Amino acid sequence: MDVLQLLPSEQALRTAPARMAPLAKLPVFWALTGKRAVVAGGSDAAAWKAELLAACGAEVHVYAQDLSEAFSTLLRQGSQSGDGRFVHHAQDWHAGAFEQAAIAIADCEDDAAAARFFGAAQKAGVPVNVIDKPRYCQFQFGSIVNRSPVVVAISTDGAAPILAQAIRRRIETLLPPSLKSWGALAHSIRDRINAAIATAAGRRAFWEAFADRAFGASPEANTQGDLLADAKCIVAAAQSSSPGRVTLVGAGPGDAELLTLKAVRALQAADVILFDDLVSDEVLELARREAKRMLVGKRGGRASCKQEDINATMIQLARAGKHVVRLKSGDPMIFGRAGEEIACLQQHGIPVDVVPGITSASAMAARLGVSLTHRDHAQAVRFVTGHSRQGFLPADIQWHDLAHSRTTTIFYMGGRTAGQIRMHLLAAGMNADTPVAVVSAVTRHNEQRWSGRLDDLASAVTRIGTDEPILIGVGSVFSQAAHAAKPTVAPLRSSHFNIARAGL
């Protein structure tokens, strides 16, 4: 039985892997080696499809009386190479052409011709595509990034082919040409690795390490031997009953695009993910689907899991050999109780490492276009918690230091204590006109922003509400924050007040 008891609420539904969002088409990679393919028509478009089919190893039967120059060149080159992948029938297609065919493609001049080809192929039970006529297509071709055996295909369901091409160009720049060699190497050693490493966890560890190397330099002559040696090391480690491990991962403020590459890799390698209530569904969507997900929400003013239970669960899972990702909103090392968890894990001999994330204060500054250390305004930045273990402001905050005019202060979790923050800063001598900015649900679809005077802080937070996490920024650097959002409601007291929902 798991030590941790999940929170009883509708949020517990998030512990299950996210269901696949609706797909316009099912992406399928189709083996055509040695299969008969039918191409009707002699146009350049038909030639491109014929070349694509031949590249997949199909035997391409071309039915056309007349061929374009490009198609004639393609068939001539195929004949000269002697690979026998093209068979030209200098006649129109007929019903017998579909016999034993695996796929049929045509370039038809009009809908009537397309309907005839489509109907004949369907009757023969052959999947069919009529070029540029979606109504007569049972499948579609995507834009392709070719690092075969690594192949990436992009589809927009026919809505925007130019967009698909643009996406392909982006991906082309991300995937090194050497990936082709690594893919071929994976093919050559896969059976030996599976035979050498008996456990699924061990195999995954091997291929994760392999993937990290695949985005570096091309494999060398001794690379295969090195990889097989790695497999032996994994087996030896498993036999020594070494424990699992825990990785503390910063999920950032909510926007999945702000995750680091290292954080994504950790999510893809996890066996179990213990995630905070504030972690967005978009971030969880990037995790390995087979990973077990456990909500360990800790939220001010709401039912929360006890820290002791979270620690015990991480220890239990790691001792069972699991790779546990402790997924925390923002940065684990900024008000994330990472220090307590690291100390507990180390005390029990559990290996632990940390993947930093973008802390909410940095996201707030970016969203507002404000430099927290603008040299004309601030010589120091302070991050202060607005919520102690007892649910109130910490008693030992040095308010006179925070009230210094050349200091920028960001209060985390200060929504419910905004009135006290205002009172203490004013009592410490801070000017009532000091610029203040408030951001709720930073980087998320329901983000709200306010900028104005310190004297108006409490009433502004009341207006925004405290259902979502709130950041409060105090200091002269926020004098320009009013320009970061267009006002959508009337001011509370002054022309500096504005509140806006910021769409991403």
Evaluate if residue 347 carries a pLDDT over 80: yes
pLDDT surpassing 80 at residue 285: yes
The least confident of 209-223, 354-368, 452-466 is 209-223
Residue 487 pLDDT exceeds 50: no
Lowest mean pLDDT among 128-132, 159-163, 451-455, 472-476: 159-163
List the structure tokens of 338: 């990472």
Burial (CB count <10 Å: 0-12, 13-18, 19+), residue 314: buried
Of 252, 300, 250, 255, give the one whose Cα is nearest residue 447. Answer: 255
Q: What percent of the chain has pLDDT over 90?
A: 62
- Given this model, what pLDDT does residue 174 score? 86
Asked if residues 407 and 378 have their Cβ atoms less than 8 Å apart, the reply is yes
Q: Which residue has the higher pLDDT, 235 or 323?
A: 323
Question: Taking the CA of residue 86 as centre, how many other CA atoms within 13 Å lie in the half-sphere pointing to its CB?
Answer: 28
Helix (H), strand (E) at residue 341? helix 338-347
Ramachandran assignment for 82, one of left (phi > 0), alpha (psi -120 to 50 degrees), beta (any other): left
Q: What is the 3-state secondary structure (H, E, C) of 82-142?
A: CCCCEEEECCCCCHHHHCCEEEEEECCCCHHHHHHHHHHHHHCCCCEEECCCHHHECCCCC
- Report whether pLDDT(499) > 50: no
- Among residues 351, 330, 355, the alpha carbon closest in space to that of 342 is found at 351
Q: Are 330 and 360 in contact (CB under 8 A)?
A: yes
Residue 237 clears pLDDT 80, i.e. is over it: no
- Residue 489's pLDDT is 35
- Closest of 338, 205, 198 to residue 270, by C-alpha: 205
Q: Where are the alpha helices (DSSP H) in 97-256?
A: 111-123, 161-174, 179-196, 200-214, 223-239
Q: What is the DSSP string of 16-82?
A: SPPPPPP-SS-------TT-EEEEE--SHHHHHHHHHHHHTT-EEEEE-SS--HHHHHHHHHHHHHT
Q: Which pair of tokens denotes residue 446? A: 């329901």
Among 93-107, 238-252, 271-285, 435-449, the minimum mean pLDDT is found in 238-252
- Phi, psi angles (nearest 5°) of residue 237: -65, -40
The C-alpha atoms of residue 370 and residue 503 are separated, in whole angstroms, by 18
Mean pLDDT of 106-124: 97
Most confident of 118-127, 300-309, 312-321: 118-127
User: What residues pair up with 452 in beta bridges, in sequence order?
Assistant: 436
Tell me the backbone φ, ψ of residue 470, rounded to 5 degrees: -120, 140
498 — pLDDT class (breaks 50, 70, 90): very low
Cα torsion 114, 116, 117, 122: sign: positive
Our measurement of the distance from residue 432's CA atom to the centroid of its chain's CA atoms, rounded to an integer in Å, reads 43
pLDDT at residue 305 in the model = 82
Query: Could you give the CA distance from residue 428 to residue 201 in angstroms, rounded to a whole number?
Result: 57
pLDDT of residue 83: 67
Q: What is the pLDDT of residue 482?
A: 56
C-alpha count within 13 angstroms, C-beta hemisphere, residue 224 = 11
Q: Which residues are catalytic?
A: 276, 298
What count of other Cβ atoms lies within 10 Å of the Cβ of residue 319? 14
Res. 500: pLDDT tops 80: no
Q: Are 157 and 140 in contact (CB under 8 A)?
A: yes
Total count of residues recorded for the chain = 504
**pLDDT surpasses 90 at 376:** no
